[in-house]
Structure 1
Amino acid sequence: MKIRILFILCFALQFASSQNALTDYFLVSNERIEITIAKDEGKYVLTLTKGGDAPKTINLGNNVGDFFEFKKQFIQKVYTELLNLPTPVTPSSANAYERVSDKAESLYFSFANNLRVLDNLDDKPKSGELGVNKRVPVYMDTSHMKELRAIYKEESSKKIFDKLVFETIGKISAATKLKEIPEFAIKTFPKVKSVVDDPRISKTEADRITEIQDIVKNIDVNSQSYKDLQSAYIEDYFKEQYNPNNSDIVAFTYFKVQDVSFEFSKGFLEVIKVTGTFKCTDKDKYNCKLLPSFLKYNSTLLFTNKFGIGFSSRDNYKKFDNISLFLNASDKKYDVKDFDNINVDHKVYNSILKGNMFLKMDDLINYNFEVNRLTRDFSPKDQKVVVEGGEKVTLTKEETRKILEVEVFSDFEGFDTDAPNGLIQTELTKHFNVNTVRGDLDIPGFRGIGGLQYIEISGAITKVEEKERRFQPERVDTQLQDFNGNPVLSSQRFATPIDLISYRNWNIGTDINVLFFDNPDWKYQLHINGGLRFNRTAIQDSISSLNSSDVTAEEYSISFWNFYGEAKLHLLPEERYGFYAMWRPNYIHLASDRLDFKGPADVVTGHRRHLSNWVNEFEFKGYVDVGSNGQLFLRWRLFHEMGYSANNFNQIQLGFSFYLLGRNKMTSNNN
């Protein structure tokens, strides 16, 4: 059994890796010449093979080139090297030479006309140009801004004033000249200023210094006059700072952007990380007095999003002003001279700044989306991109060859001789973004929420081999009389929904997202979907005749629909592996009058139990990225009748995914 599984997987892998070329063949002198033309690193290569002989190649370059040169090389490789026929041409080899010459001509024009197929498969349409600003405002809501100012006014600023006063007293006590009197004392204390500015010539410099020293010696820190001076200093200290107005949020400083990391996935910007610093220099000191000291000196800060951000529609880009990026971490830089204020700084950082300081997406980035014919989804391909502040990068769509991704499974249960499970099952699903908008739910365990996020169109071929391909329904033939009293044979066929599901050959349908919950911190996404499938099951039946024991075999197919809700949990620890858990309650609707849903008859009483049209479906699926060979999957599914779980069947499947239009190839996602 293991050998058969490996054979199936190797066959599918070979198929997946062979869709990157155009192929042909022709017969000459009873020999089969295989022809392959492929594009490798932008250059076309023609490969010719015969049996087990070493292949011959013709390097065509960027295009097929001149016809006569192509024909000359083709004849040389096939006629002379592969077939080993004589030159010049002899009468016995003339037919072969003519056949090779004709093939060269037809091959040249047929491949020349179809080279666009290979080129189109490599096409990566431009989706847009992403730019990152070098400097952006940092915002805070008005109430926290006022609280921040109050803390520094009532605590930090008073300490700073007191410290400056006592330092000034010490300097004045040691002063011997007026120019040694600190500017702070002249600016802050009116009496000191009046002595310095006294125009009387009779006052010597020594007299003035003595008078100033007496003034500062008699300062009473508990007096009302001292408190008034303290308040005046604080007002002057903050006079250049932004005063919150009546708006909901205010910008209170600038942030210098070093670089921004973007992770795009299925039309969403799932993760964005902004790295940068506050620059509290004389030039960029906007409200730096309201920042903790350990954030002022080239401390690196990280801002990030709370949940996925829609990035596929014009409406998404228009609403970037409503998207906030919050402080996530900081590389604190401490200086010993700020020790006296460290407790207040930590209080401000932890209680106010860390949860309430944010950037606006609209300030940070500019996405100039590319307009293409019939394009309404402007999102780039799934990738990681890093853009430095002040720089731009061009983003593209996925290559054409990667538009359709197929999953091929081999069902272990299908190797049992009496199991209907298909040995090889193929599934194709295409995802279409619809309403790529998410909001902040802000409930423990949940973060982002969205509705009608996407539609997925899917189809599956669940049985290709002949073993147990057709279901044989229960047959009940009853002889009755028609309205004229003539005998007739009433033929009834019975099955259960589980029977039709386990034997179905193919299905096609759609899933529509109803609700979507996203919590990157808990590493999960929860999808609440609704959907429907149209299904076909092959039937092996037999027809009886009235008053005859002859039975005639008959084959046909039955159609049925299943309508369902779906709850699907997706765990995303990292890009190399992940896990899905899914539950679907299916309602099965029979779209045929040749079969009825009824349970099997009791062998003693003939009673048929009540049968439910509802079927529970459970699925667990893990996947691992295996590099250039795509993704490897292991999936277990269980179907059982609601209310009677003994009527069930399960699948244990191993499979992998590949691109239907071309081979998988791992490339760097970093720009």
Structure 2
Amino acid sequence: MKSYLLYLFFFLIVIPVGKVFSQEKDIQITQTKKFTVYHANDGGNIVLNLKATYYSKGDTFTVFKDDQRMFGLSSPLNLREFRDSITHSLNNTSFTNEFFSEYSLNEIFLWLYLFRVDDKEPNIGFLNLGTITNHDENNSSARVFLLDSMRNIINHQRTVFSNNKKAVVSLLNQYKSKIGDSNKESSDKVLINNFLQKFHDEPFPKLDSAALYTIGQKNKKTSPENNLLKVSSPAYEAARKNVSDANDALRVMNIFPIEKVSIQFERGYIERIQAWVRNRTGGTDIYENTFAIGFSSINNLKAFQRTKLFMRKSSQIGFNSCIFLSDVIGNYDNLLDLYTRDYSPADTVINFAYPEEMPLISLKKERNIRLFDGKIFTDLGGIDQESPNGLVQVEICRRFNLNTYRWQAGERQDVGAFSYLNVYGALSKIEDKNKVLPLHNQNTVINNTLVSPSYTTNLDLRRYENFSMGVDLNALLYDFPDMKFTAYLDFGIRYGHVVLGDTIRNIVGGIVAPGKDTSFSGHTVTLMLPRISVEIFQERRVGLVMSYNYNHTYAFTNNQFKQIMSYKKSDLNNIVTERAARNSHQLELLLRVETSEKNNGQIFFRSRFFWQQGDANTFFSQIQVGYAYNIIYRNN
């Protein structure tokens, strides 16, 4: 027995997946590409031959047009900063004041975004976050068009304002560089510094024309920069007023900015999403999902326009406001891959993404593909030399998501149907102890003929199994996040293999004379109609699953033995199988504890109790302790 325990200990120590360490690389990437950039107002366009260089060491980007430097950016990329920089650069080059199509600029931005080197996991798609929303409870194509139009208008006005703001700051710096150190000129320098500080601290600062006019007046100096400032100030104030008017129009139409977003992706679902939305009073309200949202199929993505996020305030006192998920996640640009129809990313959490600054989020797929979930364990009952329970057992399983769409039930519950398919297999007896199930016989002889069949109980067929495999199909799912549990109704089919031992019986003078011992394979098919389970999600590190199975087992015997209900209550001489002999019940309790932050390993405790339909005193139990781990394929 000690050797078996050492064998189990070896598996528990060796099998868990180790960590892979890689050195940081210093990489420079340069690419060239031609873009057609359209004007936002007149439908015209310009053709840009751009070259961009990414430096991984400093995490910076430099963009060139026709080999002339246009602008530089630092990571993480900021979409608003990029729009302002490229618009300002293009207008300075051509001496125009054009505003360019948001789609055209986003195409260049995405090109830069893809430069960034990430050695960990490959991309599976890009999440486009929305920047504004309203509280209309009915979504429609007209509503979507309104939000898109207002988004383009506000982006246009902000870009024009940003260019004017940059022009004023540039002229102030030019004038400051020419001011001397005399006492007469020191007041001008203080005034300019105050302007510059105000422009740095405030997003939309007012330009005091009277104070601007006094620059250079004390020492009777007139400078070109001073005159240009006076020319620029009306354009700046006009742009600032346009932005203010656009923001007022948004408030009148109950359209408010989305300040930030947090998302939790898990097992093909958006388990949690939170959006902070500005309200009428200037504060923010949190909107969140009330149930897990499928994120693995095209139909899931289409359903975003029908899925509501609700305000985190009590509806019982009048807070019934909601927004649509499609406002928060504007689009998902999934990348195509071979041999897959699942577009969900790796399990990950994104906290505090700011749509105005960085609306594009790169989602990753697992570099290490989880092929199966493995378990190696011992049944404590197997320590007893007389018990057939396996001392060393191995089990693998794989869960496949099918229909990840959920329907809301009540205020904060949801239901699903045909959500997953669970496939599993197990080696239940690796050691040689008690591997053969002995058959019994009443040895009843009539007219010199053995008329009693060999037999064994339905539960012994299960208890002596050495190999099994099966599949469970989810029929219904009920999720109650506030109570931290999910209930499942599954139907399954299970194959079991068992080695049976019998004796060749010879009839001599009306008496049974035992002959040679023999063994052969027995096969069972069990229908689980149904399997009901409840999973408790108290916290990530500890989980609890309770389940009940009603099992209907068919034994395929080649007429070599009979499947009975009970050694005490069954008719052991009758060759007809009792109706209740095929039916049994199973209760299971599974407790798991994670041993790593990456969810690569778990210690688990599992207790099972089986009893026979028609005779509850025919029963057996299993108490199992082991280690669960991931069997992975390392995708390089």
Could you tell me the TM-score, scaled by structure 1's length? 0.57
Instruction: Give, in angstroms, the shift of residue 546 of structure 1.
Output: 3.9
> Residues of 2 paired with 1:126 and 1:494: CA distance?
59
Partner of 1:316 in structure 2? Answer: 300
Correspondence 1:641 to 2:607:
no
Partner of 1:335 in structure 2? Answer: none
- One-letter identity of the residue aligned with 1:395: L
- One-letter identity of the residue aligned with 2:134: P
Q: Which consecutive residues of structure 1, in runs of 5 or more, have no partner in the other structure? A: 21-38, 44-121, 143-239, 244-250, 279-287, 289-295, 331-348, 482-486, 664-671
Instruction: Give, in angstroms, the shift of residue 459 of structure 1.
Output: 1.0
Partner of 2:114 in structure 1? Answer: none
Equivalent pair of 1:570/1:581 in contact (CA under 8 Å): yes
After superposition, the Cα gap between the structure-2 partners of 1:8 and 1:568, relative to the gap in structure 1 and judged at 3 Å, is: farther
Partner of 1:358 in structure 2? Answer: 322
After superposition, the Cα gap between the structure-2 partners of 1:614 and 1:253, relative to the gap in structure 1 and judged at 3 Å, is: same
Instruction: Give, in angstroms, the shift of residue 256 of structure 1.
Output: 2.3
- One-letter identity of the residue aligned with 2:505: S
1:325 to 309, 320, 324: 309
Instruction: Give, in angstroms, the shift of residue 42 of structure 1.
Output: 6.9
> Residues of 1 paired with 2:401 and 2:368: CA distance?
18
The residue correspondences of 1:205-244 to structure 2 (distance < 5 A) are none
Range that drifts further, 448-457 or 401-410:
401-410
Partner of 1:84 in structure 2? Answer: none
Let me know the Cα RMSD of the aligned residues. Answer: 3.2
2:630 to 656, 659, 664: 659
Give CA-to-partner distance per residue, 1:294-329, whole Å, 9 cap, x none.
xx13x2321100111111100110111110000015
> Residues of 1 paired with 2:303 and 2:541: CA distance?
32
Equivalent pair of 1:303/1:329 in contact (CA under 8 Å): no
Instruction: Give, in angstroms, the shift of residue 440 of structure 1.
Output: 0.9
Instruction: Give, in angstroms, the shift of residue 641 of structure 1.
Output: 0.4
Equivalent pair of 1:601/1:607 in contact (CA under 8 Å): no
Equivalent pair of 2:565/2:582 in contact (CA under 8 Å): no
After superposition, the Cα gap between the structure-2 partners of 1:124 and 1:404, relative to the gap in structure 1 and judged at 3 Å, is: farther
> Residues of 1 paired with 2:396 and 2:569: CA distance?
43
Range that drifts further, 377-386 or 453-462:
377-386
> Residues of 2 paired with 1:14 and 1:277: CA distance?
52
- One-letter identity of the residue aligned with 1:641: Q
- One-letter identity of the residue aligned with 1:263: Q
After superposition, the Cα gap between the structure-2 partners of 1:18 and 1:429, relative to the gap in structure 1 and judged at 3 Å, is: closer
Partner of 1:258 in structure 2? Answer: 259
Number of equivalences: 418
Equivalent pair of 1:16/1:659 in contact (CA under 8 Å): no
After superposition, the Cα gap between the structure-2 partners of 1:5 and 1:571, relative to the gap in structure 1 and judged at 3 Å, is: farther
Range that drifts further, 408-417 or 128-137:
128-137
Correspondence 1:574 to 2:532:
no
> Residues of 1 paired with 2:617 and 2:17: CA distance?
44
Give CA-to-partner distance per residue, 1:235-271, whole Å, 9 cap, x none.
xxxxx9999xxxxxxx952332232221222211111
Identity across the alignment (%): 26
Classify the secondary structure of the residue corresponding to 2:482: coil
Classify the secondary structure of the residue corresponding to 2:396: strand
Partner of 1:620 in structure 2? Answer: 589
Range that drifts further, 356-365 or 383-392:
383-392
Correspondence 1:426 to 2:426:
no
Give CA-to-partner distance per residue, 1:163-215, whole Å, 9 cap, x none.
xxxxxxxxxxxxxxxxxxxxxxxxxxxxxxxxxxxxxxxxxxxxxxxxxxxxx
The residue correspondences of 1:74-473 to structure 2 (distance < 5 A) are 124-140=121-137, 253-278=254-279, 288=280, 296-297=281-282, 299-329=283-313, 351-352=317-318, 354=319, 356-365=320-329, 366-386=331-351, 387-390=353-356, 391-442=359-410, 447-473=413-439
> Residues of 2 paired with 1:520 and 1:623: CA distance?
20
Equivalent pair of 1:17/1:662 in contact (CA under 8 Å): no
After superposition, the Cα gap between the structure-2 partners of 1:258 and 1:8, relative to the gap in structure 1 and judged at 3 Å, is: farther
Equivalent pair of 1:16/1:662 in contact (CA under 8 Å): no
Partner of 2:22 in structure 1? Answer: 41
After superposition, the Cα gap between the structure-2 partners of 1:428 and 1:252, relative to the gap in structure 1 and judged at 3 Å, is: farther
Could you tell me the TM-score, scaled by structure 2's length? 0.60
> Residues of 1 paired with 2:541 and 2:569: CA distance?
53
> Residues of 2 paired with 1:536 and 1:351: CA distance?
61
Of the two, which has the highest radius of gyration?
1
Classify the secondary structure of the residue corresponding to 1:499: helix
After superposition, the Cα gap between the structure-2 partners of 1:269 and 1:474, relative to the gap in structure 1 and judged at 3 Å, is: same
Give CA-to-partner distance per residue, 1:385-418, whole Å, 9 cap, x none.
2332242222122233533220222111111121
2:561 to 591, 595, 609: 595
Equivalent pair of 2:250/2:256 in contact (CA under 8 Å): no
Q: Which consecutive residues of structure 2, in runs of 5 or more, have no partner in the other structure? A: 25-118, 140-247
